[in-house]
Amino acid sequence: MNFKKLLFSAMLFFGVTGIYSQTTYRNPVIPGFNPDPSVCRVGEDYYLVTSTFEFFPGVPVYHSKDLVHWEQIGYCLTRKSQLPLDNCWSSGGIYAPTIRYNNGVFYMVTTNVTGGGNFYVTTTNPSGEWSEPIWVKQGGIDPTLFFDDNNKIYLTSNDNAEGKTGIALSEIDIKTGKLITQIKHIWGGTGGRYPEAPHIYKINGWYYLMIAEGGTEYGHMETIARSKNIWGPYESNPDNPILTHRALSGQNQQIQGTGHADMIQAHDGSWWLVFLAFRKAGGDFHQLGRETFLTPFIWNTDGWPVVSPGDTVGLIVKTKTLPLISMPVLPIRDDFKDTKLGLQWNFLRNPDNSAWSLTEKSGTLRLKGNAITLSQSASPAFIGRRQQHFNFTATTKVSFNPVKSSDEAGITAFSNEKHHYDLFITKEGNKRFLKFRVKIGNMEHIVKKIELTEGETILRILGTAEWYSFGFKAENSPNFIELGKMETKYLSSEVAGGFTGVYLGMYSTGNGEKCKTFADFDWFDYDTN
């Protein structure tokens, strides 16, 4: 890149006269499993969605006033008719949503890779209910909508159109989802594998096509091309990639896998990227999943975006931001006194609604274990929330008196059906026992067990970057007793595989048949102090 052009652009962005005071914000702006972010603006309000794969409800909706502080306000997919997850494998389901706003209507377009393909839903209230799916007969994943200023509407995906790997485009009827044109290949990227996550923007008469390449791992990157015609041909940015940590300058960063970005111009005229990345912990492992990050960018005098304007993005970013406006923060404790689950909670696949209740005993989450276990790709009696921090304490109080030796209930650190750590109450003979079990691939082992006295039990998972420690205490006891600890890396994406992060949750199972009794969870704490 021409150094003088970059310097000139940076001076315009940061202000050579010092009129812009720097403000610091911290990445990730949405921590924990929140990958594939997409963002839109309505006036001075910002809305963002992320992928959810096999978890239900699907596609959380976040709201912000400053792009830094975000509050979850709802979900796009709250009904099985919108999100069928039967027979969904781990890391199947919902891939890469895009959110757009046009003429008073919000659109969220995504792929259900195990249940129908590409579709979109609509609403006029992003915190409320969204429509039934409108299906689009264009293949591939990572679809996005583009509303042109000539009233034409287009859909892009990474479909292999015309026998070519890369990004495909078609014009669609937004009311029906039917294709108006043939599907055409428009760009193959810069040579990186898995060209995907396309987004089109029209800026100063140019159609910009931004995509991810390299796979959502250590070689991930974001590239961009442009054309005067939406159908192409597209000219690649000579300084691609515009965002990556695969180079020498990024190899020692804790942040890795940067890519799958979306672009937004703020209401003050500044430009920003939201993108996914992951944070390493305990070596080259990450257990929190891919998270949502934010970085500013500028336009150079040749009309190409320059990120940061350096080549890496840090955990601490010093830049001029929008006026910072805080959003409500979830309390440490959920005491289950509401008649609806909080937005932080998810099920595995479509829930068995007979297996849980908030109303049978007021102020209690009751789980009635079904035949499904955590080690099956199905819908166990499980309710969990994302692990969002390396250092945390997750604690719950449970009342459970198993009738049979197959009955169990407890707390889990869950990556997928082949990788989870469980602390649970069960029965042997006429006695209750607390057991700590690890499940790693085909290996399943009870690390330790201890006989329990009568009464309610408080279960705890204590997390650090490298270890999970599992302990308990009776309700009136002063101290926790540790049953065991296990390394976090065995629940990481590098070991467990897949695209999700660790969930911390409560569960119950009859191990092949329904439990004869129920487990009552009085509260659940998630504390990062």
Catalytic site residues?
36, 196
CA–CA distances in Å: residue 17 to residues 13, 21, 153, 300? 11, 10, 43, 19
pLDDT of residue 23: 86
CA–CA distances in Å: residue 429 to residues 33, 76, 337, 406, 476? 41, 47, 35, 11, 26
14, containing H or E segment: helix 3-14
Domain positions in the chain are 3-319, 333-527
**Sheet with 144-147: strands ordered across:** 144-147, 153-157, 167-171, 184-187
What backbone torsions phi and psi does residue 23 show, to the nearest 5 degrees?
-130, 145
pLDDT beneath 70, residues of the chain: 1-22, 308-311
DSSP structure string for 115-150: TTEEEEEEES-TTS--PPPEE----SS--EEEE-TT
Return the structure tokens found at 350: 């479509």
Convert the pLDDT of each residue in 291-335 to its tens digit: 999 999 999 999 999 996 556 899 999 999 999 999 999 999 999
Strands 45-49 and 58-64, how do they pair? Answer: antiparallel
CA–CA distances in Å: residue 309 to residues 22, 242, 245, 277, 483? 15, 10, 14, 18, 49
Convert the pLDDT of each residue in 229-255 to its tens digit: 999 999 999 999 999 998 878 888 899
In the chain, count H helices and then E strands.
Answer: 2, 39
pLDDT of residue 453: 87
pTM to 2 decimals? 0.94
Domain 333-527: top CATH class? mainly beta
pLDDT of residue 5: 42
pLDDT of residue 264: 98
Q: Is the Cβ–Cβ distance between 505 and 420 less than 8 Å?
A: no
CATH node for 3-319: 2.115.10.20
Neighbouring residues of 370: CB distance < 8 A, sequence distance ≥ 6: 352, 354, 355, 379, 380, 381, 509, 510, 514, 515
Are both 3-319 and 333-527 of the same fold?
A: no
205 burial level (CB within 10 Å; 0-12, 13-18, 19+): exposed
